[in-house]
Chains A and B, each alone.
Chain A
């Protein structure tokens, strides 16, 4: 069974204080790992897809990296508008259905 564990559950940062969110996964053959951002009262919004170990993707203050067992979402010099819940999801290559399994998310609050 595919498993996704995100840590920490919650993170409070001061504006400008860089940090990383972790997503550990167990999957029988990784097809893709996805990061989403979810704001209160809204649906998750796509950020990145990573397909193979060593791959990195960047968008503004966010950088996602991938190893064979985990992914990190690095947040550099965060701003209050980066406050949100960040969700990680994995797709297994086996089975053919490619249904993504989501982690519980990390709730990030950035104080001004």
Chain B
């Protein structure tokens, strides 16, 4: 298996632009997580899906952030409009039945 695949690896955009991050989880996994990592706050959970259904989105900062999981093999995290304080590394992770997480390589987002 190729593992969790995230794209793009790097994204540089200007404030106010829409940003879409993509994730393909490991086949057969039924849980998917979006995390954001910064030096100041470490790894923060943004949203958790189970069987493609959003279960906990309490970590989504505000209405500018949205996430979807239209099927078991694809998820997106969208930021609209983006702001400089959104600059961080965004990780997608998947797991089977809430056991150990498998992380993607992350998307380094820079909002200028």
The answer to whether A and B assemble together is yes
Interface residue range, chain B = 20 to 34
Q: Which chain A residues border B93 with CB–CB below 8 Å? A: 43
The reply to whether B98 and A46 contact each other, CB–CB distance below 8 Å, is no
Interface residue range, chain A = 20 to 34
Q: Which chain B residues border A104 with CB–CB below 8 Å? A: 42
The reply to whether B99 and A43 contact each other, CB–CB distance below 8 Å, is no
Q: How far is the CB of B110 from chain A (nearest CB, A)?
A: 14
Known A-B contacts A43-B91, A103-B42, A105-B42; A98 and B106 likewise in contact (beta carbons under 8 Å): no
Residues of A within 8 A of B (CB): 34, 36, 41-46, 49, 87, 89, 91, 97-105
The reply to whether A97 and B55 contact each other, CB–CB distance below 8 Å, is yes
Known A-B contacts A99-B48, A99-B56; A46 and B42 likewise in contact (beta carbons under 8 Å): no
Instruction: Say yes or no: is B74 at the interface (Cβ < 8 Å to chain A).
Output: no
CA gap between A34 and B43 in the complex, in Å: 14
The reply to whether A46 and B101 contact each other, CB–CB distance below 8 Å, is yes
For B3, the closest partner residue in chain A by CB is A43
Instruction: Say yes or no: is B66 at the interface (Cβ < 8 Å to chain A).
Output: no
A sample of 6 more A-B contacts (CB under 8 A), given A44-B101, A89-B101, is: A42-B106, A43-B93, A99-B33, A100-B101, A102-B42, A102-B43
The reply to whether B102 and A46 contact each other, CB–CB distance below 8 Å, is yes
Known A-B contacts A42-B105, A43-B91, A99-B56; A49 and B99 likewise in contact (beta carbons under 8 Å): yes
